Chain A
Amino acid sequence: MSDAADLGAGPARTFRRPLGGGWFLRQPSYFLYMVRELTVVFMTAWLVWFLYEVWLLKQKAFVSLNGNYAVLVFSVVCLLFTLYHAVTFLNLSGLILRIPIGDRFAPAVIVKGLAFGGLLFVTVVGGAVMVYLGYVKL
């Protein structure tokens, strides 16, 4: 800062306004953002449960929970949150990923298409592998 900055300046009390804890309730977009952040909790919870089931399998203490409605509901809720996270994330791929084509860049629509296509591909292939290996019975 310049020496001249304190031109005999007296104290000017600026007033700081705190953001406040309820800031995310002020606007729908802020609230949806927090929901998006919340999806991590559900994804983590489901992953922990899944690892627990794998551990049980190793202990040979696995009990099939097919038909257990609590687990089913839990899984569906987690799936919905995960999809919400994935869709909002991949939607932005068109903006963020810049694929150069000559002097210009690929249009956002194409990049998004590739991103969602990629998700679909991994889902289908992953599911096929699971079926093939017998982890999932159709």
Chain B
Amino acid sequence: MAETVEVTVQRYNPETDSAPRLQTYEVPYKDDWVVLDAILYIKDHLDATLSYRWSCRMGICGSCGMNVDGHPKLTCSAHLREYRRGFTVEPLSNFPVIRDLVVDIDDFMAKLKSVKPWIVRELEQPLGDGEYLQSNNQIDHYRQFSQCINCMLCYAACPVYGMEPEFLGPAAIALARRYNLDSRDEGTVERVNVLAASEGIWECSFIGECSVACPKGVDPAKAIQQTKFDTVNGAIMSTVLMPFGNRR
């Protein structure tokens, strides 16, 4: 008798359901399977109507974020052996549900764009002059914040985002900081308006769960608090100490 594990999945079909409901399946248990494998099994063998997102299955594309037993996880890296006694899979918290385990991430996409996540420079060096010089140490300044795979587990883990959907959110702020800290970028001033807005960094009350949930060690909570510190510092510097000084 092969081992099995009970998987409860939240289902929602807007064409037939007025609200989400739970459905339970019996899935084979394999020691080296991840939660995604269980979900794939359900779709292939038990219930082809289950909809979800996935692609790379190696924790780099960011598609397969879902709530497993109430916690946001990348289902391609959540090992079945940690849920031996059965588990529940739901769509990522704090996002509207489109269908089954698929959530609407348009809000996040808009926020991503709003922080101007690109190199901002007054003068571009001509390509023929080669690369901007940068040391590996300088890359280390922003390296951590550049690891974000846009999986949005941090938004799912953040109660502030749950209560105040206008909050810019951990990933967007971390990405802004990634560019602010990049030695080639000159765009800190351009990003300040979005970051220092009331729905920006100041909405964050440092619960810290975003960094706990992040599967890539980006530590967005650190990015946000550092941004708060730098923004205040910058404001003091520019108004009190160097009002006519160089703005960068």
Interface residues of A (CB under 8 A from B): 12-17, 19, 23-24, 26-27, 29-30, 33, 37, 92, 95-98, 103-105
- Is A103 touching B14 in the complex (CB atoms < 8 A)? no
CA distance A98 to B138 in the complex (A): 14
Q: Using known A-B contacts A19-B159, A23-B159, determine if residue A103 contacts B96 with beta carbons closer than 8 Å.
A: no
Bound: A33/B226 CA distance, A: 19
Size bin of chain B's contact surface:
20 to 34
B22 within 8 A of A: no
Closest-by-CB residue of A relative to B138 is A103
Rounded to whole angstroms, the CA-CA distance of A59 and B223 in the bound complex is 50
A-B residue pairs, 7 tightest by C-beta: A14-B96, A19-B162, A13-B14, A15-B97, A96-B225, A103-B137, A95-B222
B212 within 8 A of A: yes
A92 to B94, CA, bound (A): 27
Bound-state Cα–Cα, A4 to B74, Å: 31
Q: Which residues of B contact A96 (CB under 8 A)?
A: 222, 225-226, 228-229
B96 engages A29 (CB within 8 Å): no
B19 CB-CB contact with A under 8 Å: yes
CB distance from A76 to the nearest CB of B (A): 26
A15 touches B226 (CB 8 A): no
Whether B162 and A26, one on each chain, are in contact in the complex, defined by CB atoms closer than 8 angstroms, is no
Q: What are 22 A-B contacts defined by CB distance under 8 Å?
A: A14-B98, A15-B20, A15-B96, A16-B97, A17-B20, A17-B97, A19-B93, A19-B94, A19-B159, A19-B162, A23-B159, A26-B70, A29-B207, A29-B212, A33-B207, A37-B205, A92-B206, A92-B225, A95-B222, A96-B228, A96-B229, A105-B141
Determine if B226 and A95 form an interchain contact, defined as CB atoms under 8 angstroms apart: yes
Most A CB within 10 A of own CB, among B137, B207, B209, B228: B207
- B34 to chain A: closest CB distance in Å? 23
**Contact flags (1/0) for B76-101 with A, using CB distance below 8 Å?**
00000000000000000110111000
B13, chain A: closest CB distance, angstroms: 10
Which residue on B lies nearest to A20, using beta carbons? B162
**In the complex the two chains form, what is the Cα distance from A13 to B20 in whole Å?**
12
Contact with A along B226-239 (1 / 0, CB 8 A): 10110000000000
Given A15-B14, A30-B209, 5 new contacts (CB under 8 A): A14-B96, A14-B98, A14-B104, A27-B209, A95-B225
**Any A CB within 8 A of the CB of B135:** yes
* B162 near A14: Cβ-Cβ < 8 Å: no
Q: In the complex where A12-B98, A14-B14, A14-B98 touch, is A30 in contact with B93 (Cβ < 8 A)? A: no
**Distance of B96 from chain A, by nearest CB (Å):** 4
Which B residue sits closest to A33, measured CB to CB?
Answer: B207
Chain B residues 25-66 with CB under 8 Å of chain A are none
Which residues in A have their C-beta under 8 angstroms from that of B133?
none
Pick the contact of A97 from B93, B97, B206, B229 — CB < 8 Å? B229
